[in-house]
């Protein structure tokens, strides 16, 4: 029968699906009786549903018309009958398929047909998942909800590892389909040993932190997912020197991230000074690559440049039996508001914003001391905010750094004035925090008593 209904019905026909699904040697008689020829190869490009709905101006009728029905049906039929039928869904496979057919009298090997069938089912699963995600996020009046009824995600395995977080755990690395952001998942390994599970996790933490500093060359050193040293400077070599000086002990075996090209001088300074697991930068100069080539075990990654705007998206956290889903924490603050009698000086404000950017990436409870564009002490992951502050002070003392005259950032509000009293005793001159405590006024009064300038951001940055 002819194509009909504006093209909605054109491939759903027994002569097509019979030719695809027919079992060679079993269904020959019935196929002959009904004049159904064998179809040995199916190549389909589906309607571009994902591209269509990615357009913010896409409406529901447009989305519906870009849901392919016949295409996935033919693909699934061919993949089901892969023992006899080849199926291609990716133009990247065209050259390989053509070459193999040319070399084998028009045939594909069983191994190739199986591989293509698996790829096809993965492709149609993702396609259907995208449709379910889109429609499931619309309510009965076609208004978009914050989250769909179900979440369908597809990640592609790119690496199996010797082990996971610990040696007794198996592990692999999967990359999100379609990801284009400059990140650890899309980075190119320039040299070094294979990345481990912990390498990837820590590199992600370091890179996402250094992305906060677009205005100046910056260096972030991470150990066990926490920044142990962060600094900005007029060049990345100086930024590295300053970041390293924050906590040389913790920097040993750490991950180093830069927001500018890695140059030879900085690369030499790193390998001459410390043992490092991973170095990641937007680009790596050829001279830096030559310097690092002598250190075969150092993993060096190039992630490409990124824009100031971070792509929005969802953040996932696995719990036993479930998945916590939230927006990515991309914002920095709601509104900067000076709440004390004394306002911070221009330099203090620069340092407050610097330490606030760092605190966002420190495990809660997070306290960061900073001065002149570098961290002076980092207190991470304590159950008590006051203890995090004490640890930041201890770290500064161990590194031979001076706390008096520094500023302090806290990822969440101070529930009591003791946090400010401790800050004052350490010589802190300005504080940045979200605010929002029932005792904010008490905390503000404590700051005023000590002559400390304090800024509220109106935005908390817990990190677990």
Catalytic option among 15, 119, 177, 224: 224
Measured CA to CA, the distance from residue 129 to residue 151 in angstroms comes to: 8
Q: List the one residue out of 162, 235, 150, 148 whose CA is nearest residue 200.
A: 162
Active site residue 123: no
464 tagged catalytic: no
SS3 sequence of the chain: CCCEHHHCECCCCHHHHHHHHCCCCCCHHHHHHCCCCCCCEEECCCCCHHHHHHCCCCCHHHHHHCCCCHHHHHHHHHHHCCCCCEEECCHHHHHHHHHHHHHCCCCCCHHHHHHHHHHHHHHHHHHHHHHHHHHHCECCCCCECCCCCCCCCCEEEEEECCCCCCCCCCCEEEEECCCCCCCCCCCEEEECCCCCHHHHHHHHHHHHHHCCCCCCCEEEEEECCEEEEEEECCCHHHHHHHHHHHCHHHHCCEEEEECCCECHHHHHHHHHHCCEEEEEECCECHHHHHHHCCCCCCEEEECCCCCCCCCCCEEEEEECCEEEEEECCCCCCCCCEECCCCCCCHHHHHHHHHHHHHHCCCCCCCEEEEECCEEEEEECCCCCHHHHHHHHHHHHHHCCCCCCCCEEEECCCCCCCHHHHHHHHHCCCEEEECCCCCCHHHHHHHHHHHCCEEEECCCCCCCC
Written as six digits, the tokens of 139 are 């309510």
Q: Which residues make beta-bridge pairs with 9? A: 4
Query: How far is Cα 314 from Cα 311, in angstroms, rounded to an integer?
Result: 10
Using the structure block, give the residue that is written with the tokens 């950017």: 357
> Which of the following is catalytic: 80, 177, 268, 295?
80
What are the residue numbers of the active site? 80, 224
């Amino acid at each position: 029968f002819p194509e009909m209904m504006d093209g909605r019905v054109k491939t759903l026909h027994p002569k097509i699906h019979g030719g695809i699904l027919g079992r060679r040697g079993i269904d020959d008689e019935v196929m002959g009786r009904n004049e159904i020829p064998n179809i040995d190869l199916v190549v389909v490009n589906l309607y571009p549903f994902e591209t269509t709905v990615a357009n913010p101006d896409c409406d529901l009728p447009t989305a519906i018309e870009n849901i392919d029905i016949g295409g996935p049906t033919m693909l699934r039929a061919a993949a089901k009958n892969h023992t006899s039928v080849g199926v291609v869904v990716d133009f990247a496979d065209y050259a390989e398929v053509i070459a193999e057919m040319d070399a084998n009298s028009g045939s594909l090997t069983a191994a190739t047909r199986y591989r293509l069938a698996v790829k096809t089912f993965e492709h149609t699963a993702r396609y259907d998942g995208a449709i379910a995600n889109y429609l499931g996020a619309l309510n009965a009046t076609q208004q978009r909800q914050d989250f769909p009824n179900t979440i369908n995600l597809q990640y592609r395995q790119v690496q199996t590892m010797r082990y996971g977080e610990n040696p007794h755990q198996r592990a692999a690395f999967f990359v999100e389909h379609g990801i284009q952001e400059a990140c650890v998942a899309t980075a190119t390994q320039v040299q070094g040993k294979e990345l481990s599970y912990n390498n990837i996790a820590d590199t992600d933490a370091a890179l996402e932190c250094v992305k906060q500093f677009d205005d100046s060359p910056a260096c972030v050193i991470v150990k066990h997912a926490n920044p142990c040293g962060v600094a900005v400077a007029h060049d990345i070599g100086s930024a590295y020197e300053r970041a390293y000086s924050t906590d040389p002990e913790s920097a040993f075996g750490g991950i180093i991230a830069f927001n500018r090209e890695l140059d030879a001088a900085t690369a030499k300074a790193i390998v001459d000074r410390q043992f490092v697991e991973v170095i990641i930068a937007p680009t790596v100069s050829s001279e830096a690559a030559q310097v690092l080539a002598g250190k075969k075990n150092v993993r060096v990654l190039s992630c490409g440049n990124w824009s100031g705007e971070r792509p929005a998206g969802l953040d996932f956290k696995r719990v036993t039996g479930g998945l916590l889903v939230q927006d990515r924490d991309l914002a920095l603050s709601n509104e900067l508001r000076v709440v004390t009698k004394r306002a911070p000086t221009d330099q203090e404000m620069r340092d407050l914003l610097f330490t606030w950017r760092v605190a966002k990436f420190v495990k809660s409870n997070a306290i960061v001391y900073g001065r002149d564009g570098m961290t002076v002490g980092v207190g991470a992951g304590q159950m008590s905010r006051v203890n995090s502050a004490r640890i930041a002070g201890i770290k500064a003392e161990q590194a031979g750094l001076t706390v008096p005259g520094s500023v302090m950032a806290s990822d969440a509000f101070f529930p009591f004035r003791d946090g400010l009293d401790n800050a004052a005793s350490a010589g802190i001159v300005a504080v940045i925090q979200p605010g929002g405590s029932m005792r904010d006024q008490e905390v503000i009064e404590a700051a005023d008593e000590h002559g400390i300038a304090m800024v509220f951001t109106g935005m908390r940055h817990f990190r677990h």
